[in-house]
Structure 1
Amino acid sequence: MAQKFGGKYSPDGQTQSSDRPSPQASPQQEFRGATRSRIGMRSNLLFIAPLPLIWNAFSAEPLVMAQYLAALGVLLLSAWLTREGLRAEEAYDARKVARRPALPRKILGSILMGLGLGLVGAAGFGPLEVPIFAVLGAVLHGFAFGIDPLKDKGMEGVDTFQTDRVARAVEEAEEYLAAMRNAMTRAGDRQASRRLEQFQATARGLFRKIEDDPRDLTAARKYLTVYLMGARDATSRFAEIYGRSRDEQARADYLALLDDLEQNFAARTEKFLLEDRSDLTIEIEVLRDRLKREGITTE
């Protein structure tokens, strides 16, 4: 069977400078928890579609030119808000406990889409077309991209104070992961990027466990703050060094750090699961003892 070349100078190849080989993630591990992003071609087209207005603007008289340029700016702002709204909705859907977005970006994007197309109608057509363009633009945008989440998730019937603490802690931890991902782009190493994604999937498994049981937050606090903060700083430093000098020893040390972090995060998650099962066993035994005292058997 043919095998993919993976020599020393291959982009995904193993180097011989490290005594500790970097583990390769299986396809199941690489795509574990992955979902299709909503930020795709449709949202990107919103940035491209208004660009012909530039030609219309600079081939028209000054007043009409100003209207076209204003419409262009409003439509581009609508596109940006829509994309940010989709990104916020993805983060909301990925979490079991989440607050609704503070700013309804997609709804504002729909309103601005209608306003921008209304300006296009005023500049190139007439007053009758303005409301038609505005209403059609806002409605079609709403149908295409939907609206923002309008209520909190996972907070029904639970202690609001605890869920707020968890939501804030997870949000801060996600910021650390995002900073690590952004820093890794400077390194230009695909294998290290995939290894980082594998660690981030393991870290998010711990996040989901904490969201399921906010009581675990205290025990996991250092994982969400101290360890991830250190990992962020190490990733930034690695990207700076490796992007400049392609230092293989620095790369090997960084991959070894990711191995250690992933093992510790996975062990912490497993310990929480074992504690939950132990708590369940205790509750079952207590209930059985009470039933026996009442003269009721479970057999």
Structure 2
Amino acid sequence: MAKAKRYTPKESPTFNYTKGTLLYIFLIPLFLSIVLALFQTNIQAFILNGISFFLFLAVARVAKRGFEQEGKYHHATFTKAPKIPYKMIAGYLLGGATFFTAFVTGGEPFVKSAFLAVIATVGYYLFYGFDPKKDKLENLGDISAEFVLETIAEAQGKLSAIEEHMQNIKDTLLHEKLTVALQKAEHILQTIQEDPKDIRVARKFLIVYIDGIAKVTDAYTDMDEKEIDTHTKERLHTLMDDVDEKFDKELARLKNNNQFDLDVHIDTLKEQIKN
């Protein structure tokens, strides 16, 4: 039986993994210089160009991590600002790499090398910007931010585990039902992030049902799928139908609760206007 399409969340991150490719251009002339020094058996030039190469490679790698971190931050509705400012670190590292390459490797004057380092760093920040600094933790009420973040992280971790298990499930119908369930679970998580006030009630729902699916898929993949009888598979299909129905009800509950909150605010505002 053909394997169904792999699960991909509807609200997947859209950050650009190619961002920062321009930084790798610095590596091309340095790499050519290393090759040339090697052919000329110029050990000093080989070592210095090699150091410069790895400094700029470090810049590109650190910056890429910062760009990915920034993309996840912008994608998330509810999150804290990154703890480690990788983009800023990459900017300073770029200045240091530029200075070393100009002054030590290239033999340029100190002032000129320092000027090039400043220009490189300023240009980097103007083009790529700074790391996010503001937490996105609105609409909390009396809920702890750490509690919300831990709940979301726990649920997302279980979803990732289920996704890994699904790669080994060849039952097309079961795979499709799991895909639908995970998409709805992602939708519920997104709804909670937009309005975390329901997190205490939703947490029990998320952990119980998502954890239940994770345990089922884990047990399923631990067995040889050929040895699982038809009756057991039918029970699993029915179970996933029940889960699907529960997810729909939870989504409706969350949306109705938001509507109730809106009605309360409208009624309160009307009373204030009358008074």
TM-score (norm 2): 0.69
Deviation of 1:143 (Å) = 3.3
**Aligned residue in 2 for 1:3:** none
**Aligned residue in 2 for 1:147:** 130
AA aligned opposite 1:206: I
- Decide whether aligned partners of structure 1 residues 275 and 139 sit closer, same or farther in structure 2, where only a CA change above 3 A counts: same
Match of 2:260 among 273, 278, 287: 278
Larger proportion of helix: 2
Query: 1:112-150: per-residue Cα shift (whole Å, max 9, x none)?
Result: 222223333245422335324423332333233322111
| Distance across 2 between alignment mates of 1:94 and 1:256 | 34
| Distance across 2 between alignment mates of 1:77 and 1:263 | 50
- Decide whether aligned partners of structure 1 residues 131 and 212 sit closer, same or farther in structure 2, where only a CA change above 3 A counts: same
Deviation of 1:65 (Å) = 3.0
| Distance across 2 between alignment mates of 1:262 and 1:79 | 44
**Aligned residue in 1 for 2:148:** 166
Does the CA-based 8 Å contact 1:98-1:154 persist in structure 2? yes
Aligned 1:26-105 pairs, distance under 5 A: 32-33=10-11, 36-40=14-18, 42-44=19-21, 46=23, 50=27, 53-57=30-34, 59=38, 61-105=42-86
Deviation of 1:189 (Å) = 11
Does the CA-based 8 Å contact 2:9-2:186 persist in structure 1? no
Match of 2:118 among 120, 123, 135: 135
Query: 1:4-59: per-residue Cα shift (whole Å, max 9, x none)?
Result: xxxx65x669xxxxxxxxxxx9xxxx89545643212x435645752663453352
AA aligned opposite 1:107: M
TM-score (norm 1): 0.65
| Distance across 1 between alignment mates of 2:252 and 2:55 | 50
Alpha-carbon RMSD across the aligned residues, in angstroms, is 4.6
AA aligned opposite 1:68: N
Q: Would you say how many aligned residue pairs link Structure 1 and Structure 2?
A: 267
Deviation of 1:69 (Å) = 2.7
- Decide whether aligned partners of structure 1 residues 189 and 279 sit closer, same or farther in structure 2, where only a CA change above 3 A counts: same
**Aligned residue in 1 for 2:87:** 106
Does the CA-based 8 Å contact 1:96-1:208 persist in structure 2? yes
Query: 1:224-267: per-residue Cα shift (whole Å, max 9, x none)?
Result: 4344345456556767779x98x998999988776655543332
- Decide whether aligned partners of structure 1 residues 92 and 71 sit closer, same or farther in structure 2, where only a CA change above 3 A counts: same
Does the CA-based 8 Å contact 1:71-1:119 persist in structure 2? yes
- Decide whether aligned partners of structure 1 residues 79 and 286 sit closer, same or farther in structure 2, where only a CA change above 3 A counts: closer
Does the CA-based 8 Å contact 1:170-1:224 persist in structure 2? no
Does the CA-based 8 Å contact 2:14-2:71 persist in structure 1? no
Indicate the SS of the match to 1:50. helix
Overall identity of the aligned pairs, in %: 20
- Decide whether aligned partners of structure 1 residues 65 and 193 sit closer, same or farther in structure 2, where only a CA change above 3 A counts: farther
Match of 2:195 among 183, 204, 213: 213
**Aligned residue in 2 for 1:203:** 185
